[in-house]
Amino acid sequence: MTRFALQGEAAAYFADESREVLNAGPARSGKTNAELVKAKFVAHNYPGSRQLFARETRKSLTETILPDWETKVLGRGHPMIGKARRSHRDAYHHPNGSVVVLHGLDDPENVLSGEFDRIYVFQAEQLTAQDTWDALMSRLSGRATPYVQGTLDVNPAGERHWIIRRANETLCLRCSTIVEAGRPDCQACHSTALGRVSHHQFKHTSNPLLFDWARQRWTEFGVEYLTQILGRLRGVRRKRLLEGLWVSEEGQILGDYDPAIHRISAQLEQTPFGTWVLRVTSPGWSVGNPDPMRESIVPIDWFGAGADWGFFPDPGAFVIFAYDKLGRRFLVCQVCRTSQQLDWWAAAVSNLYQEFKFRYIAVDPSAPAMKDAFNRRLALDHNAPALAISANNVIRQQDPDLAGIDLMRWGLRDPQGVVRTFFVKDSLRYGYDPMRKEAGKATCIEDEIPEWVFERKKSTGELTDRPDETRSCHVIDSARYEGNEGWGVRMAAAITAATKYPQGTAGAIHSHAEKMAKAKARGG
C-alpha cells in the first residue's frame, strides 16, 4: 500500500463538511486520491456507513478507479477486498458493517432506492446533464456519519458545462432560491445563509508524487511529468489538463457533436435466429427525427469496419459500425492503440470478425500493408474473401484532406435536423491505451471530436478550412473511411439511379462526389 499525505486542496477537502463539493483541477492533481482516502476513513470510523462510488459506466469504474482503491488506498490483504473480482463485485464490505457500493450512471434508477452517507462521482464532466446529479443528491439521507456529502470529481471541460455553471451559482440554504449575483442576501426570504457548491480548485502541488510539500519543491517525477508529458499537450487539452482551465475549443470541425444526443447506453445482442439487435437503455432516447422513434430495440441490418494505421506516437485505430434499415449507424466497437505491430492488429481484426462478420474494412489508402495483412489473416482464419479495401477514392477525389467530413457532419445532424450517428458507451473494446491515457491524450473518438479543429494561419491566427494536422484524429479517420464506404458507396448504390436525391441525403452527397470527380478528370 502506498501512503500519501494529504496536502494543499486535498487536505482542505478532507476537512470539508459541505453537503455538495466540487473537486476540479488538472490531470493528476490528487483529486481522486483525496476522495478515496476520505472514503476509507469513513468506512473505518463510522460502522454501518453507506458510500457510493459512481462513474458514467460500471466498466469505466472498474478500469480506472478500483485498481487505485484496492492497491494504493486499501492495500493488499485488506478485509474489504475479499476474493471477488473487480468486474463482478457490486460493493466492498467492511467487517464493521460499512459498505461501499459500486454503480454505473448509465442505469441510475437502481441507485435511487438506496440511502447513502457519501456519494462520489468520478470523471463527472462526462455527465451531460445535471438531472442525474440532482437525483443522486436526493439519496444523501444516511444517518451513520456526522454529515452527508456528495462529491463531483472533475477534469475541467467547456466553460458552459453545467457543473461549472452550477458551482458559480449561489443558493439560499433556507428556501433554495437561486440568489442573484452580487446580492448579500436572498431576494425571496432575505436570509443570509447562502452557498451551494463548495469548490476546491486542485493544483499539481496537491499531489505528493509531484510536489514535496515539506521542502516546497517539485519531485523528480513531477518535473518530468509536467514538462515531458502534460507540457507537450497543445490547444484545449493543454489548457484543461495542465492549466486546469474551463475552456471550449474554437473552430471545431464536427461542431454539431452533442454527447447528450450522440452518446447512448445500449447493449448489442444476438437473437436466437442469428440476427442482431441493439437494445437502447438511454432514458428518453430519440433519433432526432421530426417524429422521433423511441423504440428500445433497434434491428441491425449489417456491420461495417474502418481502420487507420499508426504505431508511435500516433496510434492505430479500428472501428465497427452497426447499420439499420433507416440508414443510421451505431459505433459498437472501437480500438485505439499505440506500439502495436501489424500482426497484433490482424489478430484483433480476426477475433472481431468472428463476432461481427462485418462486410468490409475500409482501410487508410496510404497503408496498403495493413490491408494486405488483414486479408491474409481473414483468409487463413475464416476462409473469408478480401474484405479489407482502400477507403473510397470517389469521395477522396474532392479533396484528400477533407475526405468524408461532409458525411460525418451529415451523420451528426443533416440540414433537416435528422441524426444518424450514435456512439455506444463503453465501446472501447480493449480498454484505454495506457500510454495515451497517462499522457492526457485522446483515447477514443469521444475524446477526439471536441479537439479536432480547423488549422489557423500562423501569420494572422485566422481559422482556415483545413483540419489542423497536429490534432489527434485517428479514430475519427477510421470512422470517416468506414462512412465513405458504408454511406457513400453501399447505401447510395442501393438507391435507384433515377431517384432525385433530397438535399443532405447520403445519395446526394455521393452523387455530388461523383460529379466533382468527373469534373476534375475533365480538368473542370
Which residue reads 457519501 in cell numbers?
A: 118
Contact 336, 478 (CB under 8 A): no
Cα 411–chain centre separation = 19
The pLDDT of residue 380 is 94
Positive or negative, the CA dihedral 111, 113, 114, 119 is: positive
Of 155-164, 167-176, 278-287, 329-338, the range with the lowest mean pLDDT is 278-287
Specify the length of the chain in residues.
524
Cα 176 from Cα 89, distance rounded (Å): 38
Residue 342 confidence (pLDDT) above 90: yes
Q: SS3 sequence, 20-39? A: EEEEECCCCCCHHHHHHHHH
Percent of the chain whose predicted confidence (pLDDT) is above 70 = 83
Q: Compute CA distances 304 → 352, 375, 469, whole Å.
A: 11, 15, 26
Q: Which amino acid is at 66?
A: L
The 10s digit of each residue's pLDDT in 266-292 is 999 998 888 999 998 876 565 444 444
User: What is the C-alpha to C-alpha distance for residues 266 and 278, in angstroms, rounded to an integer?
Assistant: 6
Contact between 57 and 29 (Cβ < 8 Å): no
Residues 6+ apart with CB under 8 A from 508: 501, 502
- State the fold for domain 259-521: Nucleotidyltransferase; domain 5 (3.30.420)
- Tell me how far apart the alpha carbons of residues 204 and 218 are, in angstroms, rounded to a whole number: 9
Q: Across residues 460-464, what is the average pLDDT?
A: 64
Q: Average pLDDT in the 187-198 region? A: 79
Q: Write out the H or E segment, with its range, that includes residue 378.
A: helix 368-382
* Band of residue 517 on the pLDDT scale cut at 50, 70, 90: very low
Confidence of residue 109 (pLDDT cuts 50, 70, 90): low
Question: Residues near 117 by Cβ (< 8 Å), separated by ≥ 6?
Answer: 42, 46, 49, 50, 51, 140, 142, 143, 144, 145, 148, 149
Q: What are the grid coordinates assigned to 423, written together? A: 456512439
C-alpha cell at 416: 433537416
pLDDT at 393: 47
Q: Give the DSSP per-residue string, 118-180.
A: EEEETTGGG--STHHHHHHHTT----SSSS-EEEEEE----TT-HHHHHHT-EEETTT-PEEP
Asked if residues 503 and 428 have their Cβ atoms less than 8 Å apart, the reply is no
Superfamily for domain range 9-220: P-loop containing nucleotide triphosphate hydrolases (3.40.50.300)
Of 205-209, 216-220, 460-464, the one with minimum mean pLDDT is 460-464
How far is Cα of residue 322 from the mean position of the Cα atoms in its chain? 19
Q: Which residue has the cell 464536427?
A: 254
**Between residues 388 and 286, the one the model is more confident about:** 388
* pLDDT tens readout for residues 6-65: 888 999 999 999 999 999 999 999 999 999 999 999 999 999 999 999 998 888 888 889
| The pLDDT of residue 31 | 94
Q: Residue 292: what pLDDT?
A: 45
Say whether 423 sits in a helix, a strand or coil: strand
Section 153-174 average pLDDT: 82
Mean of all residue pLDDT scores within the chain = 83
Residue with cell 445519395: 507
Confidence class for position 468, pLDDT limits 50, 70, 90: low
| Residues 77-89: tens digit of each pLDDT | 899 988 777 777 8
Q: Can you give the pLDDT at residue 105?
A: 84
The residues that bridge with 390 in the sheet, in sequence order, are 363
pLDDT confidence tier of residue 182, bands split at 50, 70 and 90: low
24-36 burial, b for 16+ CB within 10 Å, e for fewer? Answer: bbbbbbbbbbbbb
The confidence band for 498, taking pLDDT boundaries of 50, 70 and 90, is very low
89-101 pLDDT, tens digit per residue, is: 889 999 999 999 9
Q: Where are the domains of the chain?
A: 9-220, 259-521
Averaged pLDDT, 459-464 = 65
